[in-house]
Amino acid sequence: MITNLESESWLQLLAAHRAIAVIRSYSLELSFAMARAVAAGGIKIIEITWNSSQPATIIQQLRSQLSHCTIGAGTILTQQQLKEAMAAGAEFIFSPHVNPALIDAALKANISIIPGALSPTEIVTAWQAGATCVKIFPVQALGGASYIKNLQSPLGQIPLIPTGGVTLENAREFIEVGAIAVGLSSQLFPQSLVAQRNWQAIAERAKTLYQQLQ
């Protein structure tokens, strides 16, 4: 994929694929295996959280190993982390909070940034600061898909990506009520399957999700 996805291209990618696999791991080996498993199942957008072990190395190597996927960084809190993520080749940036200065820095670097928000005020603040779209986290705190649906009338022009409460069972509902895409972590990577190194089962979970969202 191209580096530093422009806003329109990023939104088109989200609309086409609908799902983001979020990988947080304290093992390089596990991170690579998790990414390969979901990619085998059809998930083509993969986020590596910055509190994983050696996230820059993971992103660099996945950009080479999974060239058909789009690899980005998550849990970016500071401008220094943003610089490091971009230097590693991250193609998009997720942050858990709304920081206008961080958003501005990403925009100036021509990279899509998706800040995390929950209330309408936070969502609009992120959007007006220039965010490409907004992550709604944790979405289960305010009612899951019904909250996304209720946001559509006043804020339907803002692309939303719910996380933190999305499951294989309810992912499609989030899309149907207006979300542009969904993010999943533990639902794609159950601890028991990761501990067993059951990558085939994880690939099947990714395939199930992908098929449900098409």
Which residues are annotated as catalytic?
47, 135
- Residue type present at position 48: I
Contact call for residues 5 and 70 (beta carbons, < 8 A): yes
SS3 label, residue 165: coil
Pair of tokens at residue 98: 């709304």
- Output the furthest CA–CA distance in the chain (Å, rounded): 45
Helix axes 28-40, 55-65, angle to 10 degrees: 40
Place of tokens 């603040």: 125
Q: Are 160 and 133 in contact (CB under 8 A)?
A: yes
- Pairwise CA distance, residues 206 & 38, whole Å: 5
Residue 199 to residues 172, 202, 207, 212, Cα–Cα distance (Å): 23, 5, 12, 20
